Amino acid sequence: MQSKANYSERRKAQRYDMYLPVHFHIKDSKDDNSPESMKYFQGFTKNFSEGGLLIEALNLSQPQLRTVENLEAHIEGSILIPTHPKPVRFQARPAWSKREDNQIELIGLYFTDIKKNNLDTLLDFAMMINKKTRVSTLITTIIINTIIALIVMALFFHLTFSNIISRQTKTIEKLQNDQKELRCKLKSIFSIK
């Protein structure tokens, strides 16, 4: 069994966001087979690392909440992965728990027993999901930056050409004024004679 101190060391492992259905039951001890300990609860994983996972537990009863909150519970559960034919089974202990405003219990778990192939399956899926997320974030960032660059270029060209057109308009107006003045001078010169 893994101690809480050992969990703290493994908590430093990279965490992956992963929202998957999880089914579990809460036991007072590892060998507890009471009817209360055989009730299954549902929730969702929030994130995962090689050392444990964070779950959102739905509709826990008061006895289960107390068992989880005193951190002595034994959790047996399974995670349903869409790309895997069988649920990934695990045993864990709570490292911490927190009640959210919406009556969802967040439970940080550290694994006490999980088969290596199950851990590898979770890790592969988590890395795949997070890789897709990173790629989509990168693509979104590139698209947004490209749009911003195009807008800045459009503004630059607009201001540049507006400035050029304004100068050309002033030059044309000055030439027209000069032309009028010249006509007037020419009229005055030819009218005198």
Query: In this predicted structure, what is the pLDDT of residue 135?
Result: 62
d(CA 184, CA 193): 15
Decide: pTM greater than 0.75.
no
Give the per-residue pLDDT at 89: 93
The CATH fold assigned to 4-135 is: Thrombin, subunit H (2.40.10)
What is the average per-residue pLDDT within 6-17? 63
- For residue 74 the two structure tokens come to 């034994």
Question: Residue 3's pLDDT is what?
Answer: 43
In this predicted model, which residue has the larger pLDDT, 141 or 112? 112
Residue 11 is predicted with a pLDDT of 52
Q: What is the pLDDT of residue 136?
A: 66
The lowest-confidence range among 12-16, 128-132, 187-191 is 128-132
Residue pair 144/88 in contact by the 8 Å Cβ criterion? no
Rounded average pLDDT over 34-59: 84
pLDDT digits (tens, 9 = 90+) for 142-189: 777 788 878 888 887 777 777 788 888 888 888 888 888 888 888 888
Q: What is the DSSP letter of 15?
A: P
Q: Please name the residues in contact with 69: beta carbons below 8 A apart, sequence gap of 6 or more.
A: 97
Look at residue 37 in the predicted model and tell me its pLDDT: 66
Q: Which residue has the tokens 């001078």?
A: 185
Domain boundaries in the chain? 4-135
Task: Work out the average pLDDT over 86-97.
Answer: 91
Cα–Cα distance between 54 and 101 in angstroms, integer?
17
pLDDT for 7: 45
* pLDDT tier at 139, thresholds 50, 70, 90: confident
